[in-house]
Structures are given as C-alpha cells and as structure tokens.
Amino acid sequence: MIFDLDRVIQSLVERLGRDDPETVKLTGIYRKIIRCWAEVQTLFRTSLKLLAVLAVFALASPLIAQQATTPSAAPAVTQQPTASTPVAIDPSATDAPKSGKAAVASGLHDLSPWSMFKNADIIVQAVMLGLAFASLVTWTVAIAKTMELSSAQRRLKSALKRISDSRSLSEAQLALGDKKTVLSSLLAAAMKEGRMSVGISSDVGIKERAASSFSEIVRAEARRVRFGMGALATIGATSPFVGLFGTVWGIMNSFIGISNAHTTNLAVVAPGIAEALLATALGLFAAIPAVVIYNVFSRSIGGYRAMLADGSALVLRLLSRDCERALSSTRSARLTQAAAE
C-alpha cells in the first residue's frame, strides 16, 4: 500500500508541480502515513521480541526445575523391609500430599496481580502506576471526545439542513436563530465582510477576504476538536516501551535475587519474572486502546472537517449571491437615473 501511495504521489507531483497547494497537502498526508506505518512496525517488532523472551523462559523453566530437583533425586540406600519385619507407618506422612497441595495453592494466591504489584520493586510499581494512569487518561479522553464530536456533528448537520434552502445571508441567519454554532460564526464573518466592503464594485476581492476569514474559523474549530488527540498519540506510542522498561528492571532484580540466594529454583525465579511481565501487560493494555481510539477519532474528525468545508462553501455561495444582487441593483439604479436625465 505504501509503494502504491508513493507512485500516486510522484505522479501527482509531476502532473501538478511541487509548488501546487494540493501537492504540498498530499505530500504532508503521505509523510504522516509513513510515520504511522513506522510506528506500527516498531510496535510489532517489540511484540515479537517480547514473545521471544517469553518463549525462552517457557523453554528454560523445565530445565531449571530439573536442575533444582537433581540433588535431592538420589535416595538414600535403605534396607528393604521383609515380610516378617513390621513396618511403622508415620501418620504425618499421609498428610504430606495435603500440605503440598496447600503450599501450591498459597503460591498461586501469592502470584495474583495485586500481590505481584505489592511485592514488586519501587521502580516497577511506579511504572505500573504510570501505565494505569495513562489507561485512565485514554478512556477519559475517549468518553469526552465521543460526546463532543457526536454533539458537534449533530449540531452542524442540523444547521446545514436549515440554511440549505436559504437565498441570502439574512435568510440563513434567521433560519439559524440564536443557536451558537460554527455555521453561525461563518455567517457572521460573511455579513461583517459584506458591511465593511460597501462601495466596492468588485465582488472578487470580497469573496477572497471572506474565504480567508472562513479558513481561520475552520482551523480554529479543527484545533478545538483535536484537543486531547496528542495525549492519545503519546500514550499509544510510548506505553509499550515504558512497560518494557519495567520488565527489564524486574528481570534484572530477579537475576540479582538468584545470585544472592545461590539457587536456580523456579520458586525463587518465578515471582520476579511474573512481576516484570505484568508491567509489559499493563503497557500493552494502555497502548492498544489508545491507538485504536486515536484512529477512530482521526476518521471522525476528518468527516467533521469535511462538513465544515461544505458549510464554508455554502456560506460563500450565499455571499456571492448577495454581492451579485447588490451589483445588479446598483446597475439598475444607474440605468434608471440615466434614463430620467
């Protein structure tokens, strides 16, 4: 897809020229797509590295367990009891399986997410808290932007329907009433430009100045609706690496604990590794929704900006009609005056 876009952009540059505004705009969009694709590739490579680390630990854990149980696997040579020799059975021996099951159960209980968080290093805890806060920010922005965009799109659609049959700026303003929308700001800017350009015979300059005012209003509205998107982009791009930092720090502490304990028993290794991998899980939990929500909102904002462009074009057409009516009435008045003379 990237190579097809590259060929399309090159053909447009050759056809329109490098100084054409549309070419510059399309080139900027293409560069944004390239950057997003590079970020996706980086995230994919990081995930592959994490899966490789998990696979290595999964393959190495049986070997570590086997090495830990080898010294105690050699039983002491004892005299086999004969049929005539009574054998004393220790009652506590029958309770050994039950105690072993209880130990396993307590070990599983200690490896719950909350227990792993409490037992983790202070830096790993800080990483986990930061990623949890980033996830909270993501969902807060998602809920707020969903309500904001849906309300803005609904108001703009209603306003466009109301002024679609208007023949002049005054009729459009009466159709909108007192509702404060972007379209009312565009109408106000057009009427202001019409009042300030009274006495100017050329309507081309009036429309150019009005279009410039419309562009400023549309850009301001686009900046307003894009508020919060930078936070989503930052969280989606950096959360996996922050979680990976917590994982590396936790595994490093686990290896230090192994060297201090002078043992390779899995019971010593597993808790630290589990705490470290929890940081990576939290990083992915914060990053994946942020990326998905950012893409959804980018498409929604693109549709909203297209509606703003339609509203700007509609108001500009109304202004052009008003200018032509004023010019026509001026010519008629001059012809009537000349005929009277």
* Low-confidence winner among 44-48, 103-107, 114-118 (lowest mean pLDDT): 103-107
Q: What value does the mean pLDDT of the chain take?
A: 76
Neighbouring CB atoms inside 10 A of 165's CB total 9
Note the pLDDT of residue 237.
92
pLDDT band at 123 (very low <50, low <70, confident <90, very high): confident
Task: Give CA separation, 243 vs 248, 269, 272, 283, in Å.
Answer: 9, 20, 15, 4
pTM check: above 0.85: no
Q: For residues 238 and 265, which has the higher predicted lDDT (pLDDT)?
A: 238
Question: How do the domains of the chain map onto residue ranges?
Answer: 1-67
In the prediction, which pLDDT does 238 show?
92
Residue 193 has pLDDT above 70, yes or no: yes
pLDDT beyond 80 at 297: yes
What pLDDT sits at residue 178? 78
Q: Rounded distance, CA 304 to CA 299, Å?
A: 9
Burial bucket for residue 136 (CB in 10 Å: 0-12, 13-18, 19+)? exposed
Length in residues, the chain = 341
Q: What is the mean pLDDT of residues 22-27?
A: 70
